[in-house]
């Protein structure tokens, strides 16, 4: 039985790093970013205090080929008391292995799975359920390379393909909604949820508690909370009440 059926939906704040600062982008565009903190460790401790189930740390620099935030991520992993999923620019076995060895609960991989399937299979073989497949999509087509490159592969076809490889957890992000507070892509999430045999993490556009109520009915594994959380539209304690 998968976690999405066994447990309540996980509340997962995102810590998106751009040159060491905690930011949120709009539709993946760094030119439309908002800085929320210059101290990522303090942000992590805040979400710990508010009893987040997991934190999703994204290295935007690495994802977009503009350096990396690896030292900060190391510090977050070393000092965290709650599980951390790390994503953004993890495009090699060696880096995935290093991040997991430093204590990450999961690594979120996207581009690698489409550009080097054989290496992705080795990571999946060695780390199993520690691997989350990140499927960023626009018009139901999977996007890679920091949301910049269209693979031409249909989202549902991608899910089918990787389910056959025994991927258990998928992170779905509608890049056109990410950071917009326009609400989640419930049509796509609903279709995926009907499959019932994978763990789905929803991301991109969540705006308030009404979205959580809709996701609760879909019995998803988890939801990434970004701008709505940072701007006070959602509080973790109230969100937990809604999901209980």
- Provide the residue-wise pLDDT of the chain in tens; the chain has 244 residues: 344 344 689 999 999 999 999 999 887 778 889 999 999 999 999 999 999 999 999 999 999 999 999 999 999 999 999 999 999 999 999 999 999 999 999 999 999 999 999 999 999 999 999 999 999 999 899 999 877 789 999 999 999 999 999 999 999 999 888 777 888 899 999 999 887 788 999 998 899 999 999 999 998 999 999 999 999 999 999 999 988 8
The C-alpha atoms of residue 117 and residue 158 are separated, in whole angstroms, by 12
Beta-carbon contacts of residue 24 (< 8 Å; ≥ 6 apart): 16, 33, 34, 36, 179, 226, 227, 230
Q: Which residues pair with 222 in a beta bridge?
A: 10, 201
Give the pLDDT of residue 5: 40
- Residue 126 appears among annotated catalytic residues: no
Q: Which residue in this structure is represented by tokens 């019995």?
A: 219
Beta-carbon contacts of residue 172 (< 8 Å; ≥ 6 apart): 135, 137, 155, 185, 188, 189, 192, 200, 201, 202, 203, 204
Of the residues 53, 59, 136, 211, only one is catalytic, namely: 136
Give the pLDDT of residue 83: 98
* Surface-to-core class of residue 194, CB atoms within 10 Å of its CB (0-12 exposed, 13-18 middle, 19+ buried): exposed
pTM: 0.93
- Residue 136 appears among annotated catalytic residues: yes
Give the pLDDT of residue 234: 96
- Say if residues 184 and 205 touch (Cβ distance below 8 Å): yes
Give the pLDDT of residue 26: 80
Structural domains of the chain sorted by starting position, each given as residue range(s) with its CATH number in brackets: 3-243 (3.20.20.70)
- Say if residues 112 and 91 touch (Cβ distance below 8 Å): yes
The C-alpha atoms of residue 176 and residue 190 are separated, in whole angstroms, by 18
């Amino acid at each position: 039985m998968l976690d999405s059926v066994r447990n309540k939906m996980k509340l997962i704040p995102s810590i998106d790093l751009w040159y060491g600062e905690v930011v949120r982008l709009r539709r993946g565009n760094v030119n439309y970013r908002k800085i929320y903190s210059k101290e990522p460790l303090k942000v992590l401790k805040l979400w710990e205090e508010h009893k987040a189930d997991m934190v999703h740390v994204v290295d935007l620099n690495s994802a977009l080929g503009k350096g990396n935030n690896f030292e900060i991520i190391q510090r977050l992993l070393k000092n965290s008391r709650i599980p951390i999923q790390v994503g953004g620019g993890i495009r090699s076995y060696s880096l995935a292995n290093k991040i997991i060895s430093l204590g990450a609960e999961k690594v979120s991989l996207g581009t690698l799975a489409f550009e080097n399937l054989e290496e992705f299979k080795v990571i999946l073989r060695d780390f199993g359920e520690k691997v989350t497949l990140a499927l960023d999509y626009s018009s139901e087509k999977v996007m890679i390379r920091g949301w910049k490159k269209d693979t031409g592969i249909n989202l549902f076809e991608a899910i089918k393909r990787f389910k056959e490889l025994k991927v258990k957890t998928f992170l779905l992000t509608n890049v056109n909604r990410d950071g917009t507070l326009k609400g989640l892509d419930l049509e796509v999430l609903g279709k995926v949820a009907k499959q019932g045999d994978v763990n789905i993490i929803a991301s991109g556009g969540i705006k308030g508690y009404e979205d959580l109520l809709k996701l609760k009915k879909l019995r998803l594994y988890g939801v990434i909370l970004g701008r709505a959380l940072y701007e006070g539209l959602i509080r973790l304690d109230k969100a937990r009440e809604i999901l209980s």
